[in-house]
Amino acid sequence: MPFSRPQLNPGQYGYTDGLPKLALKPDDFDVCTAKVIVRGNRNVLTNLFKPASVTSGISTNLFCTGPTVEREQWGHIWADVQWKGLYTAHDMLFSHTVTTRETQWPQTIDTITYYVPPSLIGKTSINNPATGRYWRVRLVDQLSGVSVRGVVKGPAATPPSPPAVTGGTAGAVGGSIGGHMIMPIARQQNFSGLQDPVFNAPRGWVLKNYDIQQSIALGGGEALYFWTANYDWAYDYGP
């Protein structure tokens, strides 16, 4: 039998499951969802909820990603509508990692043999008395890393750059990423006593990779971006 919602005039819509519902996601875009019924056809539905429109009624920083039709019958359309954006400004999220590195000594490079000084391993001689040769040493040290995530709105033609780093100075034990002071959490080990240690340049927090994982065009030359960046901490010297 014919169906009609008399309170809906042609071209109008109503909510079938309450007002739009907001989900705040600090490490992703905030999401707002609603179920609607529209008196009209698909063109009417599309005009009511145009992509990038701010039609949620909750925030002008939430942008419609378009409707998904659930049912179309008797001159009405039932649909799910979603908006994404930044309900409030999001700060960056930091996740720390620690990995282990092992190096074997002595090492011969270009006919020159490099060895671990006895002070680094609690010995008084550079040679093992049992063999008369340099101590065979497996150095085990730890490396600090940080994974950074962020969501921003910016120009569509100019994606955001990775967060800048500062603090890569001699003897530094921490530095800033995107204006936030971040301390490496791995156990620190001083390699300056090695015979001819490797000097790290740059040092401090070093960007390893940067990935814009998702972008949503908003129209008007703007877009939403969800990005991740990974940094490793480089001390002054290394094996």
* Residue-level pLDDT, tens digit, the chain, 239 residues: 344 555 788 889 999 999 999 999 887 889 999 999 999 999 999 999 988 888 999 988 888 988 999 999 888 999 999 999 888 888 889 999 999 999 898 988 888 888 888 888 889 999 999 999 999 999 888 999 999 998 888 898 999 999 999 987 767 788 999 999 999 998 877 776 677 788 888 889 999 999 999 888 887 788 889 999 999 999 888 77
Q: Residue with structure tokens 């990995």?
A: 99
Both structure tokens of 158: 């100019």
CB atoms inside a 10 Å sphere around CB 185:
14
How do the domains of the chain map onto residue ranges? 13-85, 93-238
Q: Which of 65, 72, 20 is nearest to 44 (CA)?
A: 72
Q: Cα(149)–Cα(202) distance, rounded to whole angstroms?
A: 22
Q: Which helix (H) or strand (E) holds 42?
A: helix 42-48
In a 10 Å sphere around its CB, with 0-12 CB exposed, 13-18 middle and 19+ buried, how is residue 231 labelled?
buried
Question: Residue 171 is which amino acid?
Answer: G
Q: Give the pLDDT score at 6.
A: 57
Helices marked H in 39-164: 42-48, 118-121
Q: Give the pLDDT score at 2.
A: 45
For residue 45, the 8-state DSSP code is H
Q: Cα(194)–Cα(128) distance, rounded to whole angstroms?
A: 17
Both structure tokens of 36: 């609607």
Calculate the CA dihedral of residues 119, 122, 124, 129 and round it to 10 degrees: -130
Q: Give the pLDDT score at 81.
A: 96
- Residue 54 sits at φ, ψ, to 5 deg, of -105, 70
Q: Residue with structure tokens 């002070």?
A: 119
Q: Which helix (H) or strand (E) holds 214?
A: strand 204-219
From residue 207, give the alpha-carbon distance in Å to each of 49, 91, 124.
40, 19, 40
